[in-house]
């Protein structure tokens, strides 16, 4: 299988500090990649580079053979990479449907995009489309942010700590929703999270970062058994 | 419950035509000091319709608007002096000012909030200095007379028609994708970029359009008034324009009209002594911002909704932010 997303030796320097220092990996359609690592290991910065939030100092991100890094977030979205944020960000008093409409209209491949109802059903947001985003529960707002990203018709979806602030039931529902998005829409998903009970069952493969570099990659089972990962991040259980 | 869109658009169009007719009757009928008040309200409404795009819909508090207003007035006067036809002079004045708007937008598109306000205020200050000191072109601090390019009747008709047409253009723009994009930028610019809005370009277009409204208002003001002087284009005027949009209800169709009426009314009609009306306006602005963040029109709309007893779910404040700045992990 040829890779949908290819990340090639991506580096991001802030002055003398390399927040991301030569990260490479590939991802196929429908794959879910868990991105873990200690605080400050460069996970969010890497996600930002993939999404066009930051320009890489060097290295490239290639989607389906086309370089899409370093050209700004709106172009990354047009190319097919959408992200969510650690903190909940939505368009204030807009209804979810209004927000989805905006995202949909910015998209140049409208045929690829699931309908509002389909997106809502995937994320268990049925019936909430016409309520102002601010009136949703915080868990629903987290899901609404994913819905907004999906309305851009992404081929790669980047989720930055989606389960933050969710209880066990909510994060389990989120995991199912992410799995459905990957399986039903064929979207490749990168998930950053610290909650291993949420992430490990969900991910097809896991990439562990430490100090801006890749410490280990493998299946969740391999990662759980990796001594370097246990030493630097997971700890003894 | 809601009327069909066609009926609503028709009603708005009819209302704007009626507004233009009323503006014409007032401009032609009211004389003296009061006539001056009518003129200023009309001219400000035209100019502020542009400010309502960038500031009202886009959330960018531009303090450069009076500079564009001055650009239209002075440039059209300059071309008239050279003996150029008025229509050409007016078009050039508006065009060149919009070019200036493009430069301002390019320079300050990377700044936000108060930094954008300070940056654009700086533009107004520079334009004011040029108006006062480039005496060869501008007549210096005392200003200069403006030749009559349009007949008085034509100026009155253009003024009155521009109010309705300008607001009509705003009404249409606010309902297009462009309007949605600007509102998205106001709510959360980073998020807007991450759903695919080319924010830099949208802001640029909004700023250039906005400067066009300001310039056209300046052209008509110079024609009607017959005299232009730097004291009409100070940064205090810029602040008052900002205050007018805030008082009227940023982003709402009639905010320019309501805001202008309040601000011009306070500064021109109620003679509170020099500086005092500005202080009163300042206090009023603070009170409105604190108590009715949606401005007069926003407050009225909220009141109307409460009277109709719409379910509260449907009327959450549009301006309520739901996010905190993202912290790096």
Q: Token pair of B165, please?
A: 């047409």
Distance CA A20, CA A45 (A): 7
Compute the mean pLDDT over every residue in chain B, rounded to the nearest whole number. Answer: 89
- Averaged pLDDT, B279-299: 86
Are A82 and B194 in contact (CB < 8 Å)?
Answer: yes
Q: Is the pLDDT of residue B320 over 60?
A: no
**The total number of residues written for chain A in this structure:** 237
CA distance B215 to B221: 10
Closest CA in chain A for residue B187: A91
* Alpha-carbon torsion (A209, A214, A219, A225), positive or negative: negative
Query: What's the full length of chain B, in residues?
Result: 329
In a domain, B327, yes or no: no
B1 belongs to a structural domain: no
Q: Is the predicted pLDDT of residue B5 greater than 50, yes or no?
A: yes
Give yes or no for residue B255 having a pLDDT over 50. Answer: yes
pLDDT of residue A232: 79
Which CATH code fits A5-234?
3.40.50.300
> What does the domain layout of chain A look like in residue ranges?
5-234
Domain that holds residue B225: 9-307
CA distance B176 to chain A (A): 11
Q: How far apart are CA B68 and CA B91, in angstroms?
A: 14
Measure A137 CA to nearest chain B CA, in Å.
12
Q: Does A43 touch chain B (CB under 8 A)?
A: yes
**Does any domain span residue B2?**
no
Beta-bridge partner residues of A63:
A5, A66
**Closest CA of chain A from B57, distance in Å:** 13
Determine the pLDDT at residue B170: 97
Contact assignment for A91 to B324 by CB distance below 8 Å: no
Q: What pLDDT does B319 receive?
A: 43
Q: Which of A89, A103, A104 to mutate to test the interface with B (most CBs of B within 10 A)?
A: A89
Neighbours of B175 (CB within 10 A): 12
CA distance, residue B328 to nearest chain A CA (Å): 7
Distance CA A182, CA A24 (A): 21
At residue A110, the pLDDT reads: 58
Which chain B residues are within 8 Å of A40, Cβ to Cβ?
329
Q: Are B233 and B69 in contact (CB under 8 A)?
A: yes
CA proximity to A4, closest of A23, A30, A34: A30
Q: Do B187 and A92 touch (CB under 8 A)?
A: yes
The CATH number linked to B228 is 1.10.3470
Give the pLDDT of residue B235.
87
pLDDT at B153 over 60: yes
B325, part of any domain: no
Q: Provide the 3-class DSSP secondary structure of residue A39.
A: coil
Please report the pLDDT score of residue B327 as a whole number. Answer: 37
pLDDT at position B275: 73
How does residue B323 score in pLDDT terms, banded at 50, 70 and 90? very low
Q: Between A and B, how many residue pairs show a Cβ–Cβ distance under 8 A?
A: 111
Q: Which residues of chain A have pLDDT under 50?
A: none
Domain-embedded: residue B314: no
pLDDT class for B136, splitting at 50, 70, 90? confident
User: What pLDDT is recorded for position B2?
Assistant: 60
Asked if the C-beta of A232 comes within 8 angstroms of chain B's C-beta atoms, the answer is no
- For residue A10 the two structure tokens come to 């991506």
List the alpha helices (DSSP H) in B30-176.
32-51, 65-81, 86-108, 113-133, 135-138, 152-175
CA distance B13 to A98: 25
Q: Contact B97/B211 with Cβ under 8 angstroms?
A: yes
> Considering the domain boundaries, does residue B319 fall inside one?
no
CA distances from B247 to A26, A158, B7, B242, B297 (A): 54, 41, 29, 9, 8
Measured between beta carbons, the chain A residues lying within 8 angstroms of B328 are: 44-45
Cβ atoms of B155 and B4 closer than 8 Å: no
Per-residue pLDDT tens for B68-92? 999 999 999 999 999 999 999 999 9
Q: Please give the Cα distance from A19 to A43 (Å, whole number).
A: 9
Whether residue B322 and residue A141 make contact (CB cut-off 8 A), yes or no, is: yes
Contact partners, residue A191, CB within 8 Å, separation at least 6? A32, A33, A34, A35, A159, A162, A178, A199, A202, A203
Nearest to B67 by CA among B106, B142, B123, B131: B123
Q: Do B195 and A103 touch (CB under 8 A)?
A: yes
pLDDT at site B326: 38
Contact of A139 with chain B, judged by CB distance below 8 Å, is answered with: no
* Bridge pairing between strands A213-218 and A205-210: antiparallel
Using CA atoms in the order A214, A217, A221, A226, what is the torsion angle rounded to 10 degrees? -50
In a domain, B322, yes or no: no
ipTM of this predicted complex?
0.92
Q: Are B193 and A89 a contacting pair at CB < 8 A?
A: no
| Neighbour tally for A109: CB within 10 Å | 12
Quick: pLDDT tens for B25-84. Answer: 999 999 888 889 999 999 999 999 999 999 999 999 999 999 999 999 999 999 999 999
Does residue B86 form part of some domain?
Answer: yes
Identify the pLDDT of residue A111.
Answer: 62
Separation of alpha carbons B111 and A170, rounded Å: 39
Question: Are B184 and A102 a contacting pair at CB < 8 A?
Answer: yes
What chain A residue is nearest to B325 in terms of C-alpha separation? A87
pLDDT band at B179 (very low <50, low <70, confident <90, very high): very high
Quick one: how far is CA A16 from the chain centroid?
A: 28
Does A72 touch chain B if contact means CB atoms closer than 8 Å?
A: yes
A 10 A CB-CB count for B189 gives 19
A33/B269: higher pLDDT: A33
Q: Compare B172 and A224 and report the one with higher pLDDT.
A: B172
Percent helix, percent strand, percent coil in chain B, to nearest 5:
80, 0, 20
Q: How many domains does chain B have?
A: 1
């Amino acid at each position: 299988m040829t890779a949908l997303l290819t990340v090639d030796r991506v580096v991001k320097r802030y002055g003398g500090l390399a927040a991301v220092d030569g990260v490479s990996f590939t991802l196929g359609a429908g794959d879910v990649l868990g991105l873990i690592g200690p605080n400050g290991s460069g996970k969010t910065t890497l996600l930002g580079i993939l999404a066009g939030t930051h320009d890489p100092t060097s290295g490239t991100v290639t989607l389906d053979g086309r370089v899409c890094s370093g050209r700004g977030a709106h172009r990354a979205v047009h190319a097919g990479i959408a992200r969510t944020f650690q903190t909940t960000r939505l368009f204030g008093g807009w209804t979810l449907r209004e927000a989805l409409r905006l995202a949909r209209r910015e998209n140049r491949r409208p045929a690829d995009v699931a309908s509002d109802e389909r997106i809502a059903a995937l994320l268990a947001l049925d019936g909430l489309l016409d309520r102002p985003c601010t009136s949703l529960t915080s868990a629903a707002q987290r899901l609404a942010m994913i819905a907004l990203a999906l309305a851009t018709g992404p081929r790669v979806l980047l989720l930055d700590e989606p389960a933050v602030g969710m209880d066990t039931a909510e994060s389990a529902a989120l995991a199912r929703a992410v799995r459905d998005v990957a399986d039903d829409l064929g979207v490749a998903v990168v998930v950053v999270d610290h909650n291993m009970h949420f992430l490990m069952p969900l991910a097809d493969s896991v990439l562990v970062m430490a100090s801006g570099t890749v410490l280990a990659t493998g299946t969740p089972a391999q990662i759980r058994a990796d001594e370097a990962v246990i030493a630097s991040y997971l700890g003894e259980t | 419950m809601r009327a069909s869109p066609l009926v609503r658009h028709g009603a708005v169009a009819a209302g704007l035509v009626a507004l233009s007719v009323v503006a014409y009757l007032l401009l032609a009928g009211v004389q003296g000091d009061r006539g001056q008040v009518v003129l200023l309200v009309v001219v400000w409404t035209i100019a502020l319709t542009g400010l309502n795009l960038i500031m009202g819909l886009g959330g960018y508090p531009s303090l450069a608007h009076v500079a564009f207003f001055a650009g239209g007035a002075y440039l059209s006067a300059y071309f008239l002096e050279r003996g150029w036809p008025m229509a050409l002079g007016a078009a050039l004045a508006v065009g060149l000012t919009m070019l200036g708007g493009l430069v301002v937008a390019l320079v300050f598109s990377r700044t936000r909030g108060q930094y954008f306000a300070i940056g654009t205020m700086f533009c107004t200050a520079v334009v004011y200095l040029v108006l006062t000191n480039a005496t060869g072109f501008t007549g210096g601090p005392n200003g200069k007379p403006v030749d009559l390019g349009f007949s008085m009747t034509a100026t009155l008709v253009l003024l009155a028609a521009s109010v309705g047409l300008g607001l009509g253009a705003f009404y249409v723009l606010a309902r297009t994708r462009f309007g949605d994009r600007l509102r998205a930028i106001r709510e959360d610019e980073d998020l807007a970029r991450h759903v695919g809005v080319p924010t830099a370009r949208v802001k640029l277009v909004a700023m250039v359009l906005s400067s066009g409204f300001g310039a056209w208002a300046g052209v008509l003001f110079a024609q009607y008034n017959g005299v232009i002087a730097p004291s009409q284009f100070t940064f205090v005027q810029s602040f008052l324009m900002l205050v007018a949009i805030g008082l009227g209800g940023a982003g709402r169709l009639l905010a320019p009209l309501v805001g202008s009426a309040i601000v011009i009314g306070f500064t021109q009609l109620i003679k509170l002594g020099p500086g005092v009306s500005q202080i009163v306006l300042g206090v009023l602005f603070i009170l409105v911002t604190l108590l009715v963040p949606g401005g007069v029109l926003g407050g009225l709309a909220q009141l109307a909704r409460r009277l109709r007893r719409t379910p509260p779910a449907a009327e959450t404040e549009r301006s309520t932010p739901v996010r905190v700045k993202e912290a790096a992990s």
